[in-house]
Amino acid sequence: MKVLSKDSMRPNRFERHLKQQYPTLVLKTKEFFLLKQNNSSG
């Protein structure tokens, strides 16, 4: 997993990163990522 800079988290740059690095996750909803975050935090 890569740690992105604050500048990389801008929506257009983050979307480009997501498309390039994780193409299978592009169509996932925000809820998917929130659920994944909640499950990994313990």
- Number of domains forming the structure of the chain: 1
Could you list the pLDDT tens digit for every one of the 42 residues in the chain?
A: 678 788 877 888 888 888 999 999 889 998 998 898 888 876
Instruction: Please spell the DSSP secondary structure of 1-42, one letter per residue.
Output: -PPPPTGGGSHHHHHHHHHHH-GGGTT--HHHHHHHHHHHT-
Distances (CA, A) of 26 to 14, 18, 30, 42: 11, 6, 10, 25
Query: Does residue 14 fall inside a structural domain?
Result: yes
- Domain with 30, as residue range(s), is 7-40
- Quote the pLDDT of residue 8: 76
Cα distance between the two ends of the chain? 19
Give the model's pLDDT for residue 42: 60
> Does the residue 2 lie in any domain?
no
Q: What pLDDT score does 32 carry?
A: 92
Query: What pLDDT shows up at residue 20?
Result: 92
pTM of the model: 0.53
